[in-house]
Amino acid sequence: MNIVDRKISELNIEKILYDLLYYEDSSYLSLEWGMNYITFAPCKRVRPLLLLETNKIFKEIDNDSYILAATVELIHTYSLVHDDLPCMDNDELRRGLKTLHVVKDEAYALLIGDALLTKAFGMLSQYSKINKLNEILYLIYDKSGEKGMILGQYLDIYSDSNLDLNDINRINKHKTANLIELSMLLGAINGGASNNDLKVIEFLGEVLGFIFQIKDDILDVEGKEEAMGKPVGSDQKNKKSCIVNLFGIEKAKELLLKYKNMASNIIEKLPSNKEFFFEFLDFLINRDK
């Protein structure tokens, strides 16, 4: 069992997310059915796990940790639903299942994404550390809004083909790394991290985000659809601006090792829980889905 599966089990993440987010009574193709369908499709739960393990660097996890983990997972899941829409990537598989616009239609999928995002703010109403809530709300906006993840999606769609490595890094920073940074920062804030600690955590989240995206780009060429749970080759089909398409797979693997070394150096600076993050780094580099 890999580090992610083992820790998901140890921390009871899937059951707690189920308790917090699952709708017991939902008729077929209702809003609640669609929210259940995509939220509880088989997936890695990387962002909730990173939030909880970052929290543990500074303090033991509590109920608020899981509220934040559920919030981040809802934001991530809504972004996937919208990313798969015909007006975006037009993908037919996500998390091993048919995408929602294939199950019903585009309007339905759009509304499910909207409902998931809105529910994220409902989850935050259950967060008990009121003195931290302003900082948490601003970070969610900053990392997932028009300065963050949504900007990354915009750049991914509308950038021209004459991109250099800095341009690709800007896309990857916003589209992928920002939500990983957010997950880790929320865990650190809930655990009582200092401002200096938060800077280290944010930088580590950024580098892990770059690794995650570059590995995704490599798997889009070398991965197997049954393992990935989504189509492979879609980046090339959609002429995506990614490192593999623009610079080749060998350059992508070279950059992957560069970022691995950077991440290792940052992990060494963590005050505790280093073992998890080193194991997680190896998982990111070697994963097949």
Tell me the mean pLDDT per 10 residues along the chain, length 289. 96 98 97 98 96 98 98 98 96 95 98 98 98 98 98 91 90 97 98 98 98 95 72 62 88 96 98 98 94
What kind of fold does domain 3-286 have according to CATH?
Farnesyl Diphosphate Synthase (1.10.600)
Residue 276 corresponds to which tokens in the numbers above? 């998890």
- 4 touches 47 (CB < 8 A): no
Cross-strand bridge partners of residue 97: 94
Cross-strand bridge partners of residue 94: 97
Q: Is the pTM of the predicted complex or chain greater than 0.85?
A: yes
Residue 274 corresponds to which tokens in the numbers above? 């280093």
Q: pLDDT at position 245, please?
A: 87
Give me the residue spans of the domains in the chain. Answer: 3-286
Residue 188 corresponds to which tokens in the numbers above? 């650190």
- 101 touches 136 (CB < 8 A): no
Q: pLDDT at position 287, please?
A: 94
